Amino acid sequence: MSSLRGVLLLGLSVVSVSLAAVQPGFNYGSDKVRGVNLGGWLVIEPWITPSLFDNTGDSRIIDEYTFGKYQDHAKAYRTLKTHWDSWITEADFRKIAAAGLNHVRLPIGYWAFDVSGGEPFVQGQLPYLDKAVSWARKYGIKVIIDLHGAPGSQNGFDNSGQKTSNPSWYRSQSNVDRTNAIIKRIANTYKDRSNVVTAIAALNEPFGPLGDQMLSVLKQYWYDSYSNIRYPYSNSKKQSNTYLMISDAFRGLDYWRGFMRPPNYEGVIMDIHKYQIFSTAEVQRSKSEHIAVACAEGASLASFSPSNLFAVVGEWAPAATDCAKYLNGRGVGSRYDGTFPGSTRVGSCTGLTGKASTFSAEYKTFLRQYWEAQTRAYERGIGWIQWTWKAEIADEWSYQAGLANGWIPQNPTSRAYPNICG
């Protein structure tokens, strides 16, 4: 593993370089980030597109790794190509821009670049990444390229590409080296297009609670990513205008106070994700409690950003339950209705997930209130990026469905409940 000496040497080298002002493609810290994630497109997830998994007829297929492992490769490729061609198109970028949004966060997995470890993933995603950047340029949208999965898995979640109880990214220098090489490749590809690709999120949701070794490796990886993204040119002193986005790794903002602060580090954004659904205690909250917790997040964001890093809430949703089919994994139930192992039933999921046509007027009102509370609070940082633009049968998560059914305003600054947070 990389040594502390490496960290210190990098820190000294950064200090010694005369830092020119970063000229980002978006005025982070001045203009608010208002965006949406393009989830389920170039990284497939069972809950976003359950049909892709159900249509295999194979219960062993629970993530993108097994999607390639347990199917004929050519068949899996045909299925994914059809999905890549249709799930997100230029029309979606046009609609996102028309909705007043200024960012998309675009998840992509390491396997789009590298399967040298013999992984069974299907490749072919990269042309669609290029299309997305072109469409974003056309409609004036900024892109954050998000490395959503790393070799060995950084968290064990199915959305890392491989669901596992033994995530090993941080325990293998080869895994880390492969990941660094991918970040170098992304940074080099887009270094002169920072007017569109404004930031690279170097790793989605690394699981900090795995312990000190994980956090030590992760911090060095953030330093390495800073060099790879901010200094991609052969002239080692020439900076790019591309921002590095790092994750709080489920440790909270306070853990990262003082980390990679300016002026020694420039062009770094902290990404935090806020959901109130992945524990029994959270799904037991009343509607008013969900709203109050969301509103309270604003204070920590407001106190962190001025003297540390810009902080953006890069994932969140109006959903207040884990009722969406396969949200906790293919074949796994929900805490809310007591079908998740070891959970205590709160109530029925009927009318809380699925298509908006099944939602009551009261529930839609709550979705609007909760959406407004969160966006209000998160704009006390530098802004927000909702998860996700669309989903097959989980409209409570879908920005597109929210626009169509009234719980998300056509202008994201419009407020039906301007005093929702007091």
CA-to-CA distance for 311 and 384, rounded, in angstroms?
Answer: 9
| DSSP single-letter state for residue 246 | E
Structure tokens at 346: 């709160």
Residue (of 179, 201, 160, 168) closest to 45 by Cα position: 160
CA-to-CA distance for 114 and 174, rounded, in angstroms?
Answer: 12
Outline where 31-122 has alpha helix (H): 50-54, 64-69, 73-86, 90-98
Structure tokens at 89: 């198109």
| 315 is known as an active-site residue | yes
Using the Cα atoms of residue 74, residue 38, residue 276 and residue 401 in order, give the sign of their dihedral.
negative
CA-to-CA distance for 3 and 145, rounded, in angstroms?
Answer: 28
Packing angle between helix 287-304 and helix 361-378, nearest 10 degrees?
10
CA-to-CA distance for 86 and 42, rounded, in angstroms?
Answer: 11
Residue environment code for 266-297, b if the CB has 16+ CB neighbours within 10 A, otherwise e: bbbbbbbbbebbeebebbebeeeebbebbbeb
* Through-space distance between the first and last CA atoms of the chain, rounded to whole angstroms: 48
Q: Are 337 and 345 in contact (CB under 8 A)?
A: yes
Q: Kindly report whether the peptide bond that precedes residue 263 is cis, defined as omega within 30 degrees of 0.
A: yes
> At 47, which amino acid appears?
W
Q: Kindly report whether the peptide bond that precedes residue 388 is cis, defined as omega within 30 degrees of 0.
A: yes
The contacts of residue 29 (CB under 8 Å, 6+ apart) are 305, 310, 382
Query: Could you tell me how many residues make up the chain?
Result: 422
> Coil, helix or strand for 315?
strand
Structure tokens at 219: 């911090």
**Active-site hit among 45, 64, 119, 205:** 205
Strands (E), 137-181: 142-149
**Active-site hit among 282, 297, 315, 372:** 315
Q: Are 33 and 146 in contact (CB under 8 A)?
A: no
| 362 is known as an active-site residue | no
Give the residue numbers marked as catalytic.
205, 315
